[in-house]
Amino acid sequence: MRQLIAGNWKMHGLSADAVALARAVRDGAGGVDADLLVCPPFLHIPAVAAALAGGPEGSTVALGAQDCHQAAQGAHTGDVSAPMLVDAGVTHVILGHSERRQNHHEIDEVVREKTEAALRCGLAPIVCVGETDAQRNAGQETEVVGWQLAGSLPQGFADPRKDGLSCAVAYEPVWAIGTGRTPTLEEVATMHAFIREELVRQFGAAGHGIRILYGGSVKPANAKELLAVPHVGGALVGGASLKAEDFLAIARAARDLGDEVRTPGPWG
Ligand code: PEP
């Protein structure tokens, strides 16, 4: 399995900026040995879908969203449902990002419901977990991440999927997001090994088939060393994904995961 390099564009850019960025990523993706994903703001999804579809042969960049509602439809002003995303050509969705957890008070239970909603309609969720600065300083980082994993990942998260899309967990220490600070490679290794153990504890052998992305101030200068850490299955990139050349440079640092992430056996 290849590493997954996912760009979270957050609430940046107007439609024309999104189209230009999508085209630049698409055109530069040809020789990259990684799975690529871009996650524009909701409103730009149709324009980005069209831009990605017009790419040269061999350039496949997947399209993701940054959130979805847990209900398929209903009286939820301002929200977007998972089936609506599928209808617009989206294949992946970021859920439980720390900015959603903090700014929209999303607790683990809500993240789990959203993840279930995504799985129900065939979207591949990327579920974010990570501790705050205060929690790490108090030595609580593994405890916090363990609770988030137990509370946010529903049964069936690790099931093999007929469409070949794979779910992922993103470890994003909150204090590293958008700050330029990153954990040491040892800290990343320790946390990713812990998350792998938890996934196997929760899902059995299928837990080996889940990519664990690292996110938090990934840039071209540190991508190679971060992506080389055992159990790092790719990167979730914020700021650096807004420049195609930086995003592609990060993707060029990706490696094949070999046996580290084992796709679960044939589905029944
Ligand atoms: C993010 O918000 O998911 C993220 C990783 O941001 P940045 O790369 O800017 O730290």
pLDDT tens string 188-208 = 999 999 999 999 999 999 999
Mean pLDDT across 45-63: 85
12, pLDDT greater than 60: yes
pLDDT at residue number 89: 95
| Ligand 1 atom nearest residue 241's Cα | 8
Q: What confidence tier does 31 reach under pLDDT thresholds 50, 70, 90?
A: confident
pLDDT at residue number 57: 62
Answer whether residue 259 is part of any domain.
no
Q: Domain residues for 81?
A: 4-252
Q: How far is the CA of 119 from the centre of ligand 1 (A)?
A: 24
CATH, residue 121: 3.20.20.70
Answer whether residue 264 is part of any domain.
no
Answer whether residue 260 is part of any domain.
no
Ligand 1 mutation pick, 4, 5, 8, 219, max ligand atoms within 8 A of CB: 8
Q: Is 204 in the pocket of ligand 1 (CB under 6 A)?
A: no
Q: Is 66 in the pocket of ligand 1 (CB under 6 A)?
A: no
Answer whether residue 261 is part of any domain.
no
| Ligand 1 atom nearest residue 177's Cα | 10
Q: How far is the CA of 177 from the centre of ligand 1 (A)?
A: 5
Answer whether residue 267 is part of any domain.
no
Q: How far is the CA of 143 from the centre of ligand 1 (A)?
A: 22
Helices 185-203, 141-152: crossing angle, 10 deg rounding: 40
Give the residue numbers marked as catalytic. 97, 172
pLDDT at residue number 65: 98
Answer whether residue 268 is part of any domain.
no
Q: How far is the CA of 221 from the centre of ligand 1 (A)?
A: 15
pLDDT at residue number 258: 79
More confident residue, 109 or 1: 109
Ligand 1 mutation pick, 11, 214, 217, 219, max ligand atoms within 8 A of CB: 217
Give the C-alpha separation, 81 to 157, whole Å: 19
pLDDT at residue number 159: 83
- The single-letter code of the amino acid at 232 is V
Answer whether residue 121 is part of any domain.
yes
Q: Is 170 in the pocket of ligand 1 (CB under 6 A)?
A: no
Answer whether residue 257 is part of any domain.
no
Give percent of the chain with pLDDT exceeding 90. 86
Domain count, the chain: 1
